[in-house]
Homo-oligomer: A and B are copies of this chain.
Amino acid sequence: MKPVVIIGAVAAGMSAASELKRRMPDLRVIVYGKEKYISYGACGMPYLIGGEVSSPERLIVLTPEKAREQRGIDLHVEHEVISIDRKSKTVLVKNHATGEEFTQEYEKLVIATGARAVRPPIPGIDLEGIFTLKKYQDGLDVKEYLDRRKPSRAIILGGGYIGIETAEAFKRSGMDVTVVEALPRILTLLDEDMAALVNEELVRNDVRVMTGRKVKGFTGDGRLSTVTLDDGTELEADIALVSAGVVPNSELAAEAGLELGEKKAILLNDVLKTSDPDIYAAGDCSTVCNRVLGDKVYVPLALGANRQGRICGENIAAELSGEQPAEFSCILGTAISRVFDMEFAKTGLGEAEIARNNLNNLRSATVKAKNLAGYFEGTSPMHLKIYYDIDTKVIKGGQIVGGRPSAKRIDTIATAVTAGMTLQDVYNLDLAYAPPFSPVWDPLLIAARTGMKQA
């Protein structure tokens, strides 16, 4: 049999390769990674900068040597797949170390090319001192620049998760930090009231937040010194992080004529096949199904990427063995993060999804409670909101913003949404109580009751 070829050697690609080799140890599985590094914890990079990850090496989940020796994967780093020929079932590969190009045939192909940071065409964006934070090398580059140049004024372009995580990291490094967000507010994944609480925490920690303004230009003598906004404001800056979102690396798939979906991500069916039955895809280059609405969306998050990769491996093994493939379980878009002492999380439907899909049968119940027993030292406010269907009272989503620890409780809401629980079902839950962990009535129970009273 011809080998299985996997394009991409980070989360989804290596998960697919590892699962495939676990199930079919004798199968030849070739993985091409464009970069030097494989399988790293990309989400850890803001914490590497902020000092909560002690060294870049700690972010490496798997080295190429281990992937080859322990997992038996035929791994080639610094190899870029340039094109896919679906007719001959081959890929054209370029070895960046040698410059050599060669053709490799495949039995099944997995596209796991990931996503890349958006670099908007702003004048001056190529000046020294302007970074994105997506690839492992990006983390190394920022870290090296901080050590070498000791910048003192930072501008963050974009108030999404990565932007504000890095704002905290820069602040922890002693810098003066400004976040510039083009939209009227930061963290648009969260509801407006919830995002406002996070904004307050940034401001409380002396991070400047400028919303509704765009960066018009970067200037400097070779190296960044000034950032100009569209309202004319000029901000002095020694470093800038562009965190304006990511786009799927789907060009290779598009050129091969594969169907694309939302945001030009590679469109997948329920068993993670593309429009070519011999080509699978997984991770941040592809769509994922949304559990609540049932549509295919572009939500590039780590767990989904790893899970898609693993299921790709599982399904190729099944297909090659004549067995039934597994369906990818849809996601809720559960996301979590933290700035300074404030945690925040979301799952399922919220304002953003309601607006995007014109949903008009949802209502929310919000509570402000305490994360621990009210009388316990270190207890903090915790804001919790749930969304439910007005008719059926079934929970469709939730959000949490609160002091440490509070946000990981979003998992309870994600589980309730997945199970199709009603407000009454949630109110009946026997959740854990002890003073260092929760009030007697967990905020989720209070929110469910609030919803029941509204209903």
Contacts and interface: CB of A to CB of B under 8 A. Distances in A.
Contact of A430 (B291, B378, B437): B291
Interface of A: 11, 41, 43-44, 47, 51-54, 58-59, 291, 301-304, 306, 329, 331-338, 343, 345, 347, 373-378, 404-405, 407-412, 414-416, 418-419, 421, 425, 428-438, 440-442, 444
Contact of A52 (B51, B304, B436, B441): B436
Contacts of A433: 43, 301-303, 334, 336
B436 A411 contact: no
Given A53-B375, A435-B53, A303 B338 contact: no
B409 A408 contact: yes
Contacts of A405: 404-405, 408
A425 B415 CA distance: 9
Nearest to A44: B435
B430 A347 contact: yes
B430 A53 contact: no
A434 B337 contact: yes
A410 B430 CA distance: 10
Nearest to A410: B432
A430 B303 contact: yes
Contacts of A338: 434, 436-437
Contacts of A416: 415, 419
Nearest to A415: B415
A335 B432 contact: yes
Nearest to A445: B303
A386 to B, nearest CB: 13
A438 B408 contact: yes
Interface centre among A47, A338, A416, A418 (most CB of B within 10 A): A418
A58 B303 CA distance: 42
Given A43-B435, A52-B377, 9 more contacts: A43-B433, A43-B434, A52-B376, A302-B440, A303-B430, A303-B440, A335-B432, A405-B405, A411-B411
Contacts of A408: 405, 408-409, 432, 437-438
